[in-house]
């Protein structure tokens, strides 16, 4: 039995570059999760609304993305977990990553938010080099 071909307008995230970090704006989390399922890609979701510091952010991401217990809880370790460690675990179909409600306050200021998003931009580049889609969507609290 043949699988029917999808029409272009039915392809999830068709208009979104395969390796990008962007504001979630027009998307809703359930839509992104459905897109990941349809595309047979990993869906990684972290709600960071209760975070008060960089350490909280790293702890929440590690917990919600189910990183290993030995996760170093710093930005370098975050990058390693999002790239090399996953790459070494075998072929990857792609990723849809959500960082929802990144805090925007004095303890996690603009510079810290940009550093966090830079980790995900670097991860998107890493996966782009390997021809693996990595789309990260974020929102601020």
Predicted pLDDT at 69: 85
CATH of the domain at 110: 3.30.370.10
Could you tell me if residue 88 is inside a domain? yes
pLDDT at 4: 45
Number of domains in the chain: 1
Q: Which domain holds residue 82?
A: 39-140
Q: How many CB atoms lie within 10 A of CB 98?
A: 21
Q: What is the per-residue pLDDT across 32-88, written as a single tens digit (0 to 9) for each?
A: 999 999 999 999 999 999 999 999 999 999 999 999 888 988 999 999 999 988 888
Where does the pLDDT of residue 1 fall: very low under 50, low under 70, confident under 90, or very high at 90 and above? very low
In a domain, 53, yes or no: yes
Question: What's residue 3's pLDDT?
Answer: 43
Helices (H), the chain: 29-39, 54-64, 75-82, 84-88, 110-129
Average pLDDT (108-115) is: 94
- How sure is the predictor about 117, in pLDDT bands with cuts at 50, 70 and 90? very high
Decide if 19 is inside a domain.
Answer: no
User: pTM value?
Assistant: 0.89
- Give the pLDDT band of residue 6 (cuts 50, 70, 90): very low
Query: Is 23 contained in some domain?
Result: no
Residue with the bigger pLDDT between 105 and 100: it is 100
Residue 17 resides in a domain: no
Q: Is the pLDDT of residue 118 over 50?
A: yes
The interaxial angle of helices 75-82 and 54-64, nearest 10 deg, is 20
**Cα–Cα separations (whole angstroms), residue 62 to 6, 90, 106, 135:** 35, 20, 22, 18
Question: Does residue 81 form part of some domain?
Answer: yes
Of all residues in the chain, the percent with pLDDT exceeding 90 is: 74
Whole-number mean pLDDT of the chain?
91
Q: Measured between alpha carbons, how far is 91 from 6 in angstroms, rounded to an integer?
A: 24
CB 135 within 8 A of CB 96: yes
105 found inside a domain: yes
Domain presence at residue 110:
yes
Predicted pLDDT of residue 9: 52
């Amino acid at each position: 039995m043949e699988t029917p071909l999808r029409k272009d307008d039915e392809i999830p995230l068709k208009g979104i570059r395969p390796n990008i970090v962007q504001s979630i704006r027009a998307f809703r989390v359930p839509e992104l999760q459905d897109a990941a399922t349809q595309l047979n890609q990993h869906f990684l979701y972290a709600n960071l609304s209760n975070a008060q510091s960089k350490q909280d952010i790293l702890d929440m991401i590690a917990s919600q993305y189910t990183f290993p217990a030995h996760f170093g809880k710093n930005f370098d370790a975050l990058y390693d977990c999002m790239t090399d460690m996953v790459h070494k675990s075998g072929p990857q179909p792609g990723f849809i990553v959500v960082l929802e409600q990144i805090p925007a306050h004095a303890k996690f200021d603009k510079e810290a938010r940009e550093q966090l998003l830079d980790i995900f931009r670097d991860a998107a580049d890493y996966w782009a080099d390997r021809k693996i889609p990595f789309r990260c969507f974020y929102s601020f609290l």
